[in-house]
Every structure is written in C-alpha cells, then in structure tokens.
Amino acid sequence: MARAIWTGTISFGLLNVPVRLYSAVARRDIALRQIRESDGARIRNRRIAEGTDEEVPYGEIVKAFEITADRYVPLSKDELEALAPEKTRAIEVQDFVDLDQIDPIYFDSPYYLGPAEGAEKAYSLLARAMQESGKVAIARFVFRNKEHLAALRPGDGVLTLTTMRFADEVVAPSELEDVLPQGGQKVAKKEVEMAEQLIESLTTEFDPAAYSDEYREQLLALIERKAEGKEVLEAPETEAPKPTAAPDLMSALEESIAAVKEKRRPAKRKPPKKPAKKSRAKAKK
Amino acid sequence: MLYPEAGFSKGEVVDYYAKVAGAIVPHLSGRAVTLRRFPEGVDDLDAAFFEKRCPKHRPKWVKTARVEAGPHAGKIDFCVCDSLPTLIWMAQLAAIELHPSLSLSRAPKRPTVLAFDLDPGPPADIVECCRVGLRLKEMFDHFGLQSFPKTSGSKGLQVYVPLNNKNTSYEITKPFAKAIAQLLEKQTPDQVVSKMKKEEREGKVFVDWSQNHQRKTTISVYSLRARKHPTASTPVTWDEVTHAAEKDDADSLVFEAGEVLERLEQHGDLFAPVLELEQELPEL
C-alpha cells in the first residue's frame, strides 16, 4: 500500500471530507555518485568550520541570515518554528473555477488525494459533484511547513491535487524585456499561413506514453555496458563503513596467534606441518 | 595468433584448454565465470573486454547461472563451465582468461575458499610474494589450517585456504582476510601493504584481501593469462615457494602452457584438496 505523505480534511461550507495525500510522481532520475577517478574512492562531503579543519556536528549548526558580508543574524530552530504557518490539517477550498482559465505556468507538483478511512462515501460524492459541474477547486493548505495554493481536479472518480505557484512567484514576461520580445514583430501573412500549415500537418492526439526520457535510457544503457565491460571501478574496500571493526579483529587475530604459539612452545618448537604434507601426498596420487 | 610475440596461436590456446580440461573443469564447475576475451590477441588491449553476461549466441548446451553482478547491473546470466565442450567453446571465443567466483552459484553468499592475492609493487617481484606467502602459511598453520599456493600466472602469488563448509559466508571471510592483511602490514610495514593505493605499493607486496567478496572474481587455477607469453596460473608446492624465496629465483615460478601440462602429468592436480578439504576459520 502506498504511504500517505500528508493527511487532512477538504473543507468547504459545511462539507468536510477527510483525505490522504499521495505523490503522483515517481522520480526516475538516476543517482550518480562522485568518486576519485584513480581508485574509485567515494567522495564524502564534510561540514567544517571555515578556516579550520574541524568538523562541525549537526547539533552545533544553526541557520542565519547574512545581513552584510560576514554579519549574520542567527535564527534558532524554535524561532523559525514559531513563525511557520499554523499546522492546520485543512485543505480550505476558496473558489471554483474553469480549468482552462488557469495558465499551466502556475502548476507545480501533482498529488493524488485518497479518502481517509470511513470517508469513502463523502469523497465519492465530492468527486462526482465536481465532475458534473466541470469545475476545479482552488484551495489553500499547509504542507511541509509552507503555505500552498492548490488546484483540486476530479477525474475517473479520483481527486487530483496539484500545488500551484503564487502569482508573485511567477516571473512576468515584461520583467525579462531585454530577452523576450515585447509587443511582437511584423511578419508576412504568407509566412504565418505556411507555419500554420506545418503545425496542422504535425497535429495529433496527445499521447504522453509516446515520449520517453531518452537521456535516462541512454545513461542506463551506458552504465550497463560499462558494468559488464572493463570500465567498472570497484571502490577500495579499505573505506569500509565500520572502520573500527577491522583493527579490533586484527588485534584479536594477533593475540590469538600469540596464544597458540605460547601453548605449543613447551611441546614442540615448530608447529606441526603434518596435515599439509598429507594433503600433498593425496594430491599426487 | 593470440600471442604474437610468443607465436602462440588460437589453435594452441584451444589445444591447451582441451588438454588441461580434466584438471580445470572441476575448479570451474558450478561457478559463475567472467570471461576476459582477447579477440585481437593479447597485445590489443583496446579490443579486449571482460564479459560477465554469457553471450546470447551461446550453444544450447552451455549452462548459465543467474547471479547478482553488481548494484546497477542486478542479476545477470553468467556462463558456467562444467564440461570439456563448454571450455572449448570459451577458448574459441578467445576467452584467454577465466575468472570464476569464489562461491558456487547455488550458494552465492558462501565462498568455498578464503583467498589472498599477493601482488608485488615493482621493483618487488614474485620472490617477495613468496616470502609473504610463507608467513601466511605459518599463520594458518598456527590455526591448524592448510593453505595452498598458486602463481597468478602474471606477477604475483595467490594463497587459498579451502573452507568448503556450510557455516561460512563472505561476512566472515572478508573481515578475517582483512585482519590478516593488516597484521602482516603491522608486523612488516616496509614489506607489506594492505591498501589498494598504487603509490604506497612501491617495492612492497600488496596483500589483496578484498577479493573475498560476492561480486569479485579471481583468476582460475590453470587459466592462461594475457601476457607476452602464454603463462598460466599454476598450483605449486610450499617447497617450491620456499625454494624461490631462499634462492631469490623468480623464474622458477613461471610456467607456460606446455610446462603446466607436464607438471599435471607428474604431480596430478596439486589444487585438488582446495575443492574437498573442509576447514573452519577460528573464531576470534
């Protein structure tokens, strides 16, 4: 069962529907590690205090705002938490709008909303009503310590929640006037018609499955080829995660050998070599 | 001509493997084997490649084993060489070097041996390896364990401690091997290194304990090596190792294909006990 990343309640008017939030995106990026080329040793990042080699434990690290160069206002975890938006568990519907009125530039990350236990009927009712009306709900909710705007859409009896950007987060084209055309250039009507024809000839039904991440596929193929071939760098095992275990084992080994030597000394000077000879004789047969 | 300088042809490689089959197949049988192929001969390293995945165009009678190959590769089908025909087929693929797993494919987490690869950093050579090998033998003698040396067929010496017991795993053998390597290094830091770094190896013997790992392979006993001459990884006796160490005689431990076959006739398979002897590592 998929794990909910948030639980809360959709509320508007007198209607409250307890829901669970699930991610609608499977991240398929390939994680690449950094290693030293010569021997495959893993590259590790250490947090050290500037100007020293001292590693700083997490407990001693606080956040700060840099007012001017090298002058900071430290902000403790408690102070930041006190300012965080109140952790309400509500998806508060503000308005209902038509989907085509929303510029896709405002859409951020998609999630699925599922009914909480016992709320299946209310959930289905809401999904059905929204489907019938053809509207999208615009709502506010607090998620991961941040206030979000979101669009709730129905489809096949399932509600989708897409987080949205606030208007002041979106850069207007006019703010990029030095690089984006402002007002538009004069173009010949005939040229526009030709371009339109070309667009027409390429027009098809949108099929998301027709496009795949070719870079990812090529990278995977490359990794597979190299893993099979001669170019695999094995990390030096000396950098084992438990650096303390081995020296202990070595001391134990050292003591063990010394103890055996001690025990055997009174009887024989040298350890018996009989077994080895026997096996060699057997092998010669 | 797979060995142009020595004038050793592909036909001769196939012939060697046909003649050595009786000795080598038991050591390969039941194990995932990585092939190192040299389609353009031993001098053309650009054309050479390691092949873990058993070629798709293999004959039907070539057996395979599905084994974990690495964190990204997942499980792949390795070739398993359990018969003369399979060995001949590999040889004619110019698979000069055969690198089997230390475990059987039916129990991939359980190595049948503990292995040390003693690799000399120039100007050290196999003679220094022999001296370290003898110290290894002495350590294992203390524990009442038998160990068996073979040349790597390249520059070094390898020491195998047969285990063949059901209670072992790489989680036991690897730390044990590492501890041994570190102890050797501690006793004689000017002669032994236990770390892989190339710079630190100069004039010392690198005791490579890291091959005691599920995904690692080690050159098979009796496998040819891709050197100038068709040398093979050859089992030797501790007496021979002692002789080489005492007389500073590196050449006495270099064996080419023909000599390996002669030795087999004289001594039989010196490595046979490695397949059978049941031993347990001491608890530390």
B182 touches chain A (CB under 8 A): yes
Chain B nearest CA to A48, separation (Å): 26
**pLDDT tier for residue A44 given thresholds of 50, 70 and 90:** confident
What span, in angstroms and rounded, lies between the C-alpha atoms of A222 and A224? 5
Write out the DSSP string of B108-163. Answer: TTSBSEEEEEEEEPTT--HHHHHHHHHHHHHHHHHTT---EEEE-SSS-EEEEEE-
3-class state of residue B231 by DSSP: strand
Considering only CB atoms, which chain B residues are within 8 Å of A238? 194-196, 210
Query: Confidence band (pLDDT; 50, 70, 90) for B237?
Result: very high
Question: Could you tell me if B176 lies within 8 Å of chain A, comparing CB atoms?
Answer: yes
- A195: pLDDT strictly greater than 90: no
User: Is residue A246 less than 8 Å (CB to CB) from chain B?
Assistant: yes
| pLDDT for position A213 | 78
Model confidence pLDDT, tens digit, residues B65-95: 998 876 666 788 999 999 999 999 999 999 9
B265: CB partners within 8 A, 6+ apart? none
How many other CB atoms sit within 10 Å of the CB of residue A135? 17
Query: pLDDT higher for A196 or A265?
Result: A196
If one counts every other C-beta atom within 10 angstroms of the C-beta of residue A171, the result is 10
- Answer whether B275 touches A (CB < 8 Å): no
**pLDDT higher than 80, residue A171:** yes
A171 φψ region: left (φ > 0), alpha (ψ -120 to 50), beta (else): beta
Cβ B275 vs Cβ B100: under 8 Å = no
Contact A276 B141 (CB under 8 A): yes
B48-65: per-residue pLDDT in tens?
Answer: 888 998 998 899 999 999
Largest CA distance in chain B: 53
- The pLDDT of residue A247: 56
Per residue in B111-160, pLDDT (tens digit) is: 999 999 999 988 899 999 999 999 999 999 988 899 999 999 999 999 99
Q: Express each pLDDT in A103-138 by its tens digit.
A: 999 999 999 999 998 889 889 988 988 888 888 999
pLDDT value at B45 more than 70: yes
CB distance A145 to A84 below 8 Å:
yes
Give me the pLDDT at residue B189, please: 87
Any chain B CB within 8 A of the CB of A249?
A: yes
| pLDDT reported for residue A270 | 43
pLDDT at B4: 92
Would you state the pLDDT for residue A214? 78
Mean pLDDT of the residues in chain B? 92
* Residue A259, helix vs strand vs coil: helix
Kindly compute the dihedral angle of the four CA atoms of residues A229, A233, A234, A240, in this order, to the nearest 10 degrees.
Answer: -160
pTM: 0.56
Q: How far apart are CA B16 and CA B24, in angstroms?
A: 11
| pLDDT tens digits along A45-60 | 888 888 888 888 888 8
Q: Which residues in chain B touch residue A226, judged by CB atoms under 8 angstroms apart?
A: none
Give CA–CA dist A258/A252, Å, rounded: 10
Q: Under 8 Å CB-to-CB from B36, ≥6 apart: which residues?
A: B48, B49, B50, B51, B95, B96, B97, B98, B99, B226
CB contact under 8 A, B52 and A247: no
Sheet (strand B157-162) strand order:
B148-151, B157-162, B113-120, B205-208, B192-193
Per-residue model confidence (pLDDT) at position A267: 44
Contact (Cβ atoms closer than 8 angstroms) between residue B273 and residue B162: yes
- In the stretch 60-119 of chain B, residues with CB closer than 8 A to chain A read 69-70, 72-73, 76
Per DSSP, the residues of A39-76 read T-PBP----B-TTS--B--GGG--EEEEEETTEEEEE-
pLDDT of residue A277: 39
Question: In a 10 Å sphere around its CB, with 0-12 CB exposed, 13-18 middle and 19+ buried, how is residue B191 labelled?
Answer: middle
Of A225, A40, A217, A31, give the one whose Cα is nearest residue B76: A225
Q: Do A249 and B176 touch (CB under 8 A)?
A: yes
pLDDT in tens, B243-259: 999 999 999 999 999 99
Yes or no, beta carbons of B50 and A260 under 8 Å apart: no
Q: Which amino acid appears at position B57 of this protein? A: H
- What are A214-251's pLDDT values in tens digits? 787 778 777 777 777 655 555 554 444 443 444 577 78
* Residue A84 predicted with pLDDT over 80: no
Degrees, nearest 5: CA angle A60-A52-A43: 85
- Of B161 and B70, the structure prediction assigns the larger pLDDT to B161
Query: Is the pLDDT reported for residue A3 higher than 60?
Result: yes
Instruction: Show Cβ contacts of residue A47 under 8 Å, excluding neighbours closer than 6 positions.
Output: A55, A56, A58, A61
Contact across the interface for A250 and B268, Cβ inside 8 Å: no
What is the amino acid identity at position B263?
Answer: R
The reported pLDDT for the residue numbered A281 is: 38
Tokens of A161: 């929640």
The whole-number pLDDT of residue A239 equals 40
Residue position matching structure tokens 């009678």: B61
Does A246 contact B284 at a Cβ distance shorter than 8 Å?
Answer: no
**C-alpha–C-alpha distance, residues B222 and B214, integer Å:** 22
Give the three-class secondary structure for B261.
helix
Question: Once rounded to an integer, what is the mean pLDDT over residues B231-238?
Answer: 96
- pLDDT confidence band for A5 (50 / 70 / 90): confident
The distance of A257 to chain B (nearest Cα, Å) reads 7
Q: Which residue of A has its CA nearest to B178?
A: A246
Coil vs helix vs strand at B205: strand
Cβ contact, residue pair B210, A282, below 8 Å: no
pLDDT attached to residue A230: 53
| Residue A8 predicted with pLDDT over 70 | yes
Please report residues of B whose CB lies closer than 8 A to that of A280: 237, 270
pLDDT at residue B95, as a whole number: 95
B interface mutation test: which of A36, A38, A220, A228 has the most B CBs within 10 A? A228
